[in-house]
Structure 1
Amino acid sequence: MMESIAQTIKLIQTNIEKVSNVNTSVTKITNDATTLGENIKTVDNAVKEVEASNKTLIDNMNQVGDVMDVMTESINKAELTTKTMLSKYESSAQSAIDIEKVVGKLMEELGVGGFMGVQDVKHGMKISISDVNGAKKEYTGEVTDRNGNDIYVTIENEAGDIFENRERHKNNICKLNIVVDNVLYCWSDIVIQRSKSGENGQFKLHIETNPQVYNRRKYPRMPITNACTVKFEGEDKTYQGHMVNISANGFAISIFDSVFADAREKNIVVSVDDFDEISAHPLEGCIIRSSNNDGEYIVGCRMPEDVQSIKNYVSKNYCN
C-alpha cells in the first residue's frame, strides 16, 4: 500500500514538472508571439513607408513627366524658331552675296576708296608689265617715281628685249598692274617708253584713265614659330621676335617692343631663321595691324607682291 502511494506521489511530481515545463514553453511561445507581433508591426510600418515612398515616387515621376512635356514643347518651339532663323539667315546670306557682287562691280569701276587712280601710286610699290606690243611675257619691278600722270619704274628681269615686238611708227603698248595697299590696280593699253636722261627709273608709263581695281587674292596662312630678326626699312636697329604665320602675300610676327604699337603703314624687313627652303630673301612687308597682348605685339604685314615659293611651300606642307 505504501509503495502504491509512493509511486502515485512520484507520478504527481513528474506531472507537476511536466506542467511546469509546459508553462515555461507556453511563456516562451507567448514571448515569441509578442516579438513576432512587434516584428510584424515593424514590417507593416516598413511596408507603409514603402507605399508612401512609392506614392511620392509616382508624384515625382508625374512631375518629371510634366517637365518633359514642357521641355518637348520648348524644343518644338526652338526647332520652329531655328528654322525661321535659318530661313532668315539664308535670305541674309543671299542678300550679302548680292551686295558683295554690287560692291565688287563698284570696286572695279571706282576702287575701294572711290575714284582711285594714278594719284594713289607711290614710290616703292610693286608692279608687273605684260603684253608689251602683244608679247606674252611678264616683267616685274617697282615704282621709282610719279610725276602727274607719268609713272617711272625699274624692271628686274630681262628688260633689254622688252620692245622686241614693236611695229615701226607705233607706240609701245602694254598692260600694267600695280599693288596699291591691299588691292590691285590694272590698266590696259598703256604707252611705255624708255626714260630720258635725268628721269628716274628705266621706263616711263603715261596713264590717262582710271584703273580696274581688284582685291588681292587670299592665300592660306600656315602657322610657323621660327625666330626672326626685324628692322624698319631704311634703319639699322634690329628687334628680335618670332613668326606667327605666313602666306604667299602676307605674314604675322610676335615681338616684345612698344615701338611696334604705332607702326601701322611702316615697312619692315624680316630675316627668318631656318627659312631658306621657303625663300632665299628676307621678307618685306607693310604693317597693316598691330595688337597689344600684355606687352606682346602681334604684327600683321602685307607683302608687296605674291611670292610663288612660299605659296608652293604652304600648299605642300600645310594645305594637303
Structure 2
Amino acid sequence: MNYDENVFKAKANIKARRIWLVFSLLLTANYGADMSNGLYPSKQYLYFVLLCWIPFFIGELFLKIKGKTTDIYRYILVLGYGIFYTYLLCTTASPIAFTYILPVTSLLIIFKDRKFMLQCGIANTISVVISIIYRYMVLSCTTATDVKNYQLQISCLILCYICYIMSIRHLNEADGALTDSIKNDLHRVVNTVEKVKTASNNVMDGITVVRELANENKHGSDVVLKGMNNLTNNNQELQNRTTSSLDMTTDINSQVEHVVSMIHEMVSLTDESIHHAQISSADLEGLVTTAGTMSKLSSEVEQVLTEFTSEFEKVKSETGTIDNISGQTNLLALNASIEAARAGEAGKGFAVVAEEIRTLSTETKASSKQIQDALMRLDEISGKMTKSIEETLKLIQLTLEKVTLTGENVNKITADSSQMGEHIQVIDNAIKEVETSNRQLVENMKYISEIVDTMTLCIHDSDDISQRMVSKYDESANNINSIENEIQALMCKLGIGGFMGIEDINPGMKATIRLTKDPDHDFHGEVLKQYSNQIILSLEEKLSLRNSESCSIQITVGNVLYCWDNASIHVDKITSDFVVEITGSPNILNRRKYPRADLSNFCNITVKNTGETFHGRMENISANGFAFLCDAPFFADSKGTDILLNILSFDLPDQAALEGHIIRSSDDEGMYIVGCQMPEDNMAIKDYVEQLLG
C-alpha cells in the first residue's frame, strides 16, 4: 500500500469520530437510564443531550465542509467533548466519571502530536479542576472521601497524560529511527533501483541492438538463403550446361579431328594444284612465245600484203597503159584502113595489115579487159584477205594480251597457291593446337563437372546450415522477446512502485497527446519542462482548448514509453504553452518493434552538439530507427551521440530529415555501420517500409 499522509489523517479523524459517536451514544443511554430512575431531572438530561450532540454534529458539518483530512477536527473533538465531559463531571455523582475521557484521550495518541496531547492534558485537567471546584463550592462535596477522590482524579489524569506524552514521544522517536532507517534503506533501494533502471535501460538498449543486429542478420540470412537457392538453381543449370558443354566439346573434338583430316587432304590437293599451276605456267609461257611468233608472222604477212597491194596497183596502172596503147593501136589501124582505102589497090596489102593490127588491138583490148576484170577480182580478194589478216592480227594481239594476262594470273594463282599452302599449314598447326587445347578442355570440363558436383554438395550443406541458422534465429528472437517482456514487466513494477515517474522526464523528449473526446487523433509535441505533477509541452499541431480537458499522454523515454491515462490538459494563458496535469505513476511499455527495409540513398549526418557534418550512405530504416554507413573515424566511439540525418533523394521528402540517438557502431575494415534510435515512432516511415516490403 502506498503511503499518503492525507489518507492517514482522514482515517485518524474517522476513527476519532467513531469513538466520539460510540461514547456519546453510551453516555446518552446511561444518562437517560439514570434520569428514568429519578437520579436526574429531565431538564438536566436535556442540557446533557444538547451539550453532547451539538458539538458532534458541528464536527460532522466541519468534516463535510473542510474534508476528512483537516487538522482542525481534532480540536473540535477535544473542545466539544471537553464541554460535554465537564458538564458530565459537574452533574454526576459517580466518582469514576472522570475516566470517561480516557478512551477518547487514548485514541488521540493516533495523531502522535505531543504538543496537541499536552494541550489536551492541560484542558482536561482544567475541566476536572472546574468540576471539583463546582462540586466542592456549589454541591458541598467536601468530605475527606470526596477530597481524596479529587486528588485521585487529578493524579490519575496527570499520570495518564504523562504516559500519553511519553508514549507519543517514544513512538515519535521510534518512528524517527524507523523513518531514518527506512530513509537509509530507501536511499539504498533508490540507488539500487536507479542502478536497476540504468541496467534495465542498458539491457533494453542492448536488446534493441541485438534485435536490430538479429533482424539485420535475419535479413542477411534470408538474402543468403535466397542466394543459396538461386545458386543451387544456377548450379544445377551450370551442371546441366557443363554436361552439355562436355558433350558438345566431345563432338567438337571429333569434328576438329575430322577437320584435321580434311585439312591434310586440302594440303595434298593444294600441293597438286601448285604442281599443275606450275605446269600450266610453263605451257602458257610456250603459248605466249608461239603467240608472239604468230604476231611476228602476221606482221610479215601484213607487210607482204602491203607490198602485194603496191605491186597490184602498178599492174593495174600498166594494164591501163596497155589499154591506152590498144586504143591508140586500134585508132592507128583505123587510120591505116582509111588510108588504104584511099590508096585503092595499092593499099590493099596495107589494108590487110591494118585489119590484122585492128584485130590484134581488139584482142589486146579484150585481153586487157579480162586482165582488168581479173585484177578487180584479185583486188577484192586482196581487200578481203587484208581485212581478214587485220582481224587475225587483232585476234592474235588480243589472244596475246589474254595469254599474257592468263600467264600473270597463273603466276598469281601459283603464288596464291603457295601462300594458301603456307596458310593451310599454319591452319593445320593451329588446328593441331586447337585439337590439343580441346583435349585439355575436355579434361578441364570433366574437372569442372567434378567441382560442380562438389559445389552442389557444399551448397546443400550451406543450405542446411542456413536453415538451421534461421531456426536458431527464431529461437533467439523468441528468447530476446522473452527477455524484453521480463524487462518490461520489471520496469512496469518499478513504475508501479513509484521508482519510475515524472522525474525521469527531461526537456526535449517527444510526447503524444490524445484527447478523451477524440482518441483517434494524436497531437505530437516536445517536453519543455516538468514539475512535480505537471508537464509543460509545445505541440506541433494547433490545439484549441477553452477549458481543461481530460486526455492521455505518452512520452518516449529511451526504449520505453511512459503513459498516463488519466491526465488533463489546458493552456497557460501567460506563455501559451500546454500544461498537462498528471497523477500517480505511469504505465511503462516497451516501444514497438517495426520491420526494417534496406535503403541505399546517400545522406548527410550532423552532430547536434558540435555541428560537424559527415557524408554517408543509408543501410536500412524502420519506423523508430535507422542505420547508415560512414568511413569517418568519428563514429568509432560515438555511442550515445545525438545526430541529425538528412536522406538525399528520399521518396518521402517531408520525412527526409530525421533525429537519432546512436546506440551501436561496428567497424567493418574502416567502414562504420552506425545504428540509431529515433526519439519517437514515425508512422509515415512505417507505412513506407511496409509498402517497400510488399
TM-score bracket relative to the smaller structure: 0.5 to 0.7
Contact 2:623 2:686 in 1 (8 A): yes
Determine whether 1:143 maps to 2:527. Answer: yes
1:266 Cα offset (Å): 2.0
In 2, Cα distance between the equivalents of 1:102 and 1:129? 27
Larger RCO of the pair (alpha carbons < 8 Å, separation 6+): 1
1:290 Cα offset (Å): 1.6
1:149 Cα offset (Å): 3.4
Q: What secondary structure does 2:637 align onto?
A: coil
Q: Could you tell me which residue of structure 2 aligns to residue 274 of structure 1?
A: 649
- 1:172 to 1:235, Cα distance in 2 relative to 1, 3 A: same
Map 1:75-224 onto structure 2 (within 5 A).
103-110=487-494, 115-132=499-516, 134-136=517-519, 137-159=521-543, 161=544, 163=545, 166=547, 171-197=548-574, 202-224=577-599
Amino acid at match of 1:211: P
Q: Could you tell me which residue of structure 2 aligns to residue 317 of structure 1?
A: 692
- 1:307 to 1:93, Cα distance in 2 relative to 1, 3 A: closer
Q: Could you tell me which residue of structure 2 aligns to residue 31 of structure 1?
A: none
In 2, Cα distance between the equivalents of 1:242 and 1:315? 21
Structure 1 window deviating more from structure 2 (248-257 vs 303-312): it is 303-312
Amino acid at match of 1:195: D
Q: What secondary structure does 1:115 align onto?
A: coil
Contact 1:231 1:238 in 2 (8 A): yes
Q: Could you tell me which residue of structure 2 aligns to residue 26 of structure 1?
A: none
Contact 2:533 2:583 in 1 (8 A): yes
Q: In the alignment, which of 263, 283, 292 is matched to residue 658 of structure 2?
A: 283
In 2, Cα distance between the equivalents of 1:255 and 1:235? 18
Amino acid at match of 1:205: V
Q: Deviations over 1:65-103 (max 9, x none)?
A: xxxxxxxxxxxxxxxxxxxxxxxxx9x999998876655
Amino acid at match of 1:233: K
Q: Could you tell me which residue of structure 1 aligns to residue 681 of structure 2?
A: 306
- 1:102 to 1:301, Cα distance in 2 relative to 1, 3 A: closer
- 1:252 to 1:195, Cα distance in 2 relative to 1, 3 A: same
Q: What secondary structure does 1:119 align onto?
A: helix
Q: Could you tell me which residue of structure 1 aligns to residue 604 of structure 2?
A: 229
Q: What secondary structure does 1:225 align onto?
A: coil
- 1:112 to 1:269, Cα distance in 2 relative to 1, 3 A: farther
- 1:273 to 1:94, Cα distance in 2 relative to 1, 3 A: closer
Q: What secondary structure does 1:229 align onto?
A: strand
In 2, Cα distance between the equivalents of 1:113 and 1:155? 30
In 2, Cα distance between the equivalents of 1:123 and 1:279? 25
1:235 Cα offset (Å): 4.2
In 2, Cα distance between the equivalents of 1:114 and 1:207? 14
Which protein shows a greater Rg?
2
Q: Deviations over 1:171-210 (max 9, x none)?
A: 532100001101111001113222253x6x7112233321
Structure 1 residues without counterparts, runs of 5 or longer: 1-89
Identify the structure with the greater helix proportion.
2
Structure 1 window deviating more from structure 2 (145-154 vs 240-249): it is 145-154
Q: What secondary structure does 2:616 align onto?
A: strand
Contact 1:244 1:251 in 2 (8 A): yes
Percent identical residues? 40
In 2, Cα distance between the equivalents of 1:98 and 1:289? 22
Amino acid at match of 2:507: H
Map 1:20-35 onto structure 2 (within 5 A).
none
Amino acid at match of 1:179: T
Q: Could you tell me which residue of structure 2 aligns to residue 36 of structure 1?
A: none
Contact 1:278 1:310 in 2 (8 A): no
1:154 Cα offset (Å): 0.4
In 2, Cα distance between the equivalents of 1:110 and 1:286? 25
- 1:222 to 1:174, Cα distance in 2 relative to 1, 3 A: same
In 2, Cα distance between the equivalents of 1:294 and 1:209? 51
Q: Could you tell me which residue of structure 2 aligns to residue 251 of structure 1?
A: 626
Contact 2:509 2:527 in 1 (8 A): yes
In 2, Cα distance between the equivalents of 1:113 and 1:240? 46
- 1:248 to 1:95, Cα distance in 2 relative to 1, 3 A: closer
Q: What secondary structure does 1:213 align onto?
A: strand
Contact 2:496 2:586 in 1 (8 A): no
- 1:291 to 1:101, Cα distance in 2 relative to 1, 3 A: closer
1:112 Cα offset (Å): 12
- 1:195 to 1:93, Cα distance in 2 relative to 1, 3 A: closer
Query: RMSD of the TM alignment (CA)?
Result: 3.2
Paired residues in the alignment total 220
Q: Deviations over 1:242-262 (max 9, x none)?
A: 111101110011111222233
Q: What secondary structure does 1:261 align onto?
A: helix
Contact 2:647 2:656 in 1 (8 A): no
In 1, Cα distance between the equivalents of 2:668 and 2:498? 34
TM-score for the superposition, normalised by structure 1: 0.60
Amino acid at match of 2:552: K
Identify the structure with the greater strand proportion.
1
- 1:284 to 1:177, Cα distance in 2 relative to 1, 3 A: same
Q: Could you tell me which residue of structure 2 aligns to residue 72 of structure 1?
A: none
TM-score for the superposition, normalised by structure 2: 0.29
Determine whether 1:295 maps to 2:670. Answer: yes
